[in-house]
A and B are shown apart, each in its own frame.
Chain A
Amino acid sequence: MTAPLHEPTAEAAPSAAEEAAVAAGDAKAVQGRSLGRIAWERLKRDKLALTGGIVVLLLVVVALLAPVITSLLGQDPNEYHENLIDPLFGTPTGSLGGLSGDHLLGVEPVNGRDIFARILYGARISLLVGFLSAVVAVILGTVLGILAGFFGGWIDSLISRVMDGLLAFPQLLFIIALVSVMPNEMLGLTGSSVRVFVMILVIGFFGWPYIGRVVRGQTLSLREREYVEAARSLGAGRVYILFKELLPNLVAPIVVYTTMMIPTNILTEAALSFLGVGVKPPTASWGQMLSSAIDYYESDPMYMVVPGVAIFITVLAFNLFGDGVRDALDPKASR
């Protein structure tokens, strides 16, 4: 089936499926299903993607409830437990990085902060930056991609060149550069929240061409479709065609690219914090925990493994879920 990616809307002429249903005299068997419905039914059969999705949901819940969970456990991410540290080596006493009933994942070397609590709080930063920077990228990418694809001409050339340029640039380097020249206080924000805000903007800004390219390509091919022509011949204006005819058909690819972008953004945030231009201590972040763990990978390997595995599980879950969503929304795949 090569029809538009969604169930044809009412304006886009009666759907073939509906006609077939009437012809068959059995409305139930061949009823037109919405794209979301079809995708959800396929996704339900994809065990790996479902697992990924559940892990993502769990992570979101855990991140939201981080203060509740840690206080239930009687821990605080910034509380020092120096009594648990070997004064000679600076590493936690006991096996496996000071793992115990109180400290589920052990404690940090030197100051003895609870690693589990810091991981939970770190999840908040990772997910916040991952999601919101994707939102920034999607908004910019969709608007500029549609503009380029729909209007063509010099607008298209300009936007396309900018996208090519941004994609070819050493992005991480530019992100580092931009974050490092940002002031420490702006718009009434201070400390780590400035960094979080800046990271969201900058990562989102460098992410929009990925969405923009896809949206532009889709728009280019969609605007030549018969149903758009039909709408135009009925006297529909540009705005109507953009929002009522094109945008609904762009939802599927946008959703796919967004789910695939979130894990990349999470990795970028972790990388920035690892390099020391992300959130500022004492705010907990996985990348920053890994960067302090680099000095202890011989004496206290647990300290490095825990945040590393946290990043791995999160990104893997998003990737599995993203792959599943892509397969589920793929119009070429058999239904």
Chain B
Amino acid sequence: MLAYLIRRLFAAAVMLVVIVMVVFSIFFLFPKWAGVDIALSFVGKQADPAAVEAVRQKLGLGDPIYAQVWEFFKGIFAGRTYSGGGDTIHCAAPCFGYSFRSEQAVWPVLTDRFPVTLSLALGAALLWLVFGVAAGVLSALKRGSLWDRGAMVVALAGVSLPIYFTGMLSLAIFAFGLHWIDAQYVPLEESFSGWFGAMILPWITLAFLYAAMYARITRATMLEILGEDYIRTARAKGLKETTVIGKHAMRSTMTPILTMLGMDLGALIGGAILTESTFNLPGLGRAVLDAIRNQDLPIIVGVTLITSLAVLVANLVVDILYAVIDPRVRLT
């Protein structure tokens, strides 16, 4: 187990470095190649050349590429110092630079916003795993029944609806039509019920799409597994049906579900961005959208990196869970 963990951690570290390189290329090399000047987007369109030059020097945009990459890495892991234009600023690790617009450090913005996105993602994941898998298993067990057909129609509708449309519909119906809940976001520290009330619709909206996908996959996997020989054996040796389904069939059904979960975590971030923008939640997604409107590059870079890191960590957790659930996965 320890050796497996160490190997996975090492792989994750390599992946982290690759991600930082990719992000750096997207944001600093790509614009250069495409002829977009980052310094110009910092000072704005009607800037005088001297100000642009000062920014370029401060951000080290004129340096050779390897030096820029190094500074970028160093900033994240050890902190970096910006100098030029007459003043020097030290940015402590983890340094993601300063917002082009508010001139605040990016890192505190990220740590402020992260809990909102995390609570949105975790709550939704819990909902969709429970309801999606349950619906899929029930459908498979009662194949062809009214429940099965009904659930699969809802699931098909679910995967075909854009999140923001279901979000807007649910807001229009439950918040403004029926006045059941208040759509205004309240931080958890202020009031639990207020926070819960504000999060419940986003959770359901985000979970609905994935619950639909997971119900479809669970149903297909379960049907396939119920036809396997070992299920027949389990039944033949007189095991109770609940044991056959609950222990023997469920265990194999969960493996592809977990694989999917690991792959969907990245997509979940995308779903969170859309949900936050629909429900006006102050999370990372919202931060990125505002940053795009203001051409605030460092915020976009920061969010991209931090979410990639979150996905990396979550994948690690999924991998370990995988080994726990499926005994065929050897931890060597």
Q: Are B274 and A320 in contact (CB under 8 A)?
A: no
B162 engages A170 (CB within 8 Å): no
The reply to whether the CB of B278 lies closer than 8 angstroms to some CB of chain A is yes
A168: which of B30, B161, B263 is its contact (CB, 8 Å)?
B263
Contacts of B273 in A (CB 8 A): 172-173, 176, 275
Which residues of A sit under 8 angstroms from B35, Cβ to Cβ? Answer: 183
Option from B168, B269, B304, B308 in Cβ contact (under 8 Å) with A308: B168
| Given contacts A183-B34, A304-B172, A311-B165, A174 and B267 within 8 Å (CB-CB) | no
B20 at the interface (CB under 8 A from A): no
**Chain B residues within an 8 Å CB radius of A173:** 269-270, 273, 288, 303-304, 307
- Is B270's CB under 8 angstroms from A170's CB? yes
| Chain B hits for A263, CB < 8 A | 160
- Docked Cα-Cα span, A327 to B240, in Å, equals 33
> B154-179 CB contact bits vs A (8 Å, 1 = yes)?
00110111111100110110001000
Assembly CA distance A183 to B33 (angstroms) = 10
Chain B residues, CB < 8 A from A168: 262-263, 265-266, 311-312, 315
B162 lies within 8 A of A181 (CB): no
Q: What's the interface size class on B, roughly? A: 35 or more
Q: Is the CB of B304 within 8 A of A275?
A: no
B18 lies within 8 A of chain A by Cβ: yes
Residues of A246-291 whose CB lies within 8 A of B: 263, 267, 270-271, 274-277, 287, 290-291
C-alpha gap A182/B308 in the complex (Å): 21
A312 at interface by CB-CB < 8 Å: yes
Contact B34 A186 (CB under 8 A): yes
Instruction: Please name the residue on chain A nearest to B34 by beta carbon.
Output: A183
Is A177's beta carbon under 8 Å from chain B? yes
B156–A316 touching, CB < 8 Å: yes
Contact A275 B300 (CB under 8 A): no
In the complex, what residues of A have CB within 8 A of residue B300's CB?
177, 180
Measured CA separation A270–B165 after assembly (Å): 11
Asked whether B160 lies within 8 Å of A315 as measured between CB atoms, the reply is: yes
Q: Given that A276-B292, A290-B168 are contacting pairs, would A169 and B311 also be in contact in the complex, using a CB cutoff of 8 Å?
A: yes
Contact among B157, B267, B295, B297 with A171 in the assembled complex (CB-CB below 8 Å): B267
B85 at the interface (CB under 8 A from A): no
Residues of A within 8 A of B289 (CB): 275-276
Judge whether A294 and B292 touch: CB under 8 Å.
no
B317 cross-chain contacts in A, Cβ below 8 A: none
- Residue of A169, A173, A178 most packed against chain B (CB within 10 A): A173
Which of A167, A181, A263 has the most chain B CB within a 10 Å cutoff? A181
Query: Chain A contacts of B266 at CB under 8 A?
Result: 167-171
Q: How far is the CA of A271 from the CA of B166 in the complex (A)?
A: 13
CB-based contact B34/A182 at 8 Å: yes
Asked if B168 and A294 sit within 8 Å, CB to CB, the answer is yes
Interface presence of B277 (CB below 8 A): yes
Residues B249-283 near A (CB distance < 8 A): 262-263, 265-267, 269-271, 273-274, 277-278
B51 touches A (CB below 8 Å)? no
Contact yes or no, A178 B34, CB < 8 A: no
Determine whether B192 belongs to the interface, using a CB cutoff of 8 Å to chain A: no
CB distance from A43 to the nearest CB of B (A): 18
Q: Mark B286-312, 1 if CB is under 8 A from A, else 0.
A: 001100110101001001100110011
Instruction: Name the residue on A nearest B23 (C-beta).
Output: A177
B288: chain A residues within 8 A (beta carbon): 173, 176
Asked whether B172 lies within 8 Å of A297 as measured between CB atoms, the reply is: yes
The reply to whether A298 and B269 form a contact with Cβ atoms under 8 Å apart is: no
Chain A minimum-CB-distance residue to B159: A319
Point out the residues of chain B lying under 8 angstroms from A167, CB to CB. Answer: 263, 266
CB within 8 Å for A177 and B27 given contacts A276-B289, A293-B168: yes
Instruction: Answer yes or no: A165 CB below 8 A from chain B CBs.
Output: yes
In the complex, the answer to whether A319 meets B168 with C-beta atoms within 8 Å is no
Beta-carbon contact of A172 and B164 below 8 Å = no
Chain B residue nearest in CB terms to A181: B31
Which residues from A are CB-within-8-Å of B292? 176, 180, 275-277
- B193, chain A: closest CB distance, angstroms: 24
Nearest-neighbour CB distance to chain B for A279, whole angstroms, equals 15
Whether the pair B304, A267 counts as a contact (CB closer than 8 A) is no
Chain B hits for A4, CB < 8 A: none
Taking the nearest CB of chain B, how far is it from the CB of A97, in angstroms?
13
A290 neighbours in B (Cβ, 8 Å): 162, 164-165, 168
- Identify which of A178, A274, A312 contacts B164 (C-beta below 8 A): A274
Please tell me if the beta carbons of B269 and A170 are within 8 angstroms of each other in the complex: yes
**Which chain A residue shows the least CB distance to B277?**
A275
Give the shortest distance, in Å, between A325 (CB) and chain B (any CB). Answer: 15
Residues in chain A near residue B172, CB distance under 8 A:
297-298, 301, 304
Is B126 close to A, CB under 8 A?
Answer: no
CA distance A263 to B161 in the complex (A): 11
21 A-B residue pairs with CB within 8 Å: A165-B15, A167-B263, A168-B265, A168-B312, A168-B315, A170-B307, A171-B270, A172-B271, A173-B303, A178-B30, A181-B297, A183-B31, A183-B36, A275-B273, A275-B274, A290-B164, A297-B168, A308-B161, A308-B165, A308-B168, A319-B159
Q: A297-B168, A315-B161 are in contact. List 5 more A-B contacts (CB 8 A).
A: A173-B304, A275-B292, A277-B292, A290-B165, A319-B159
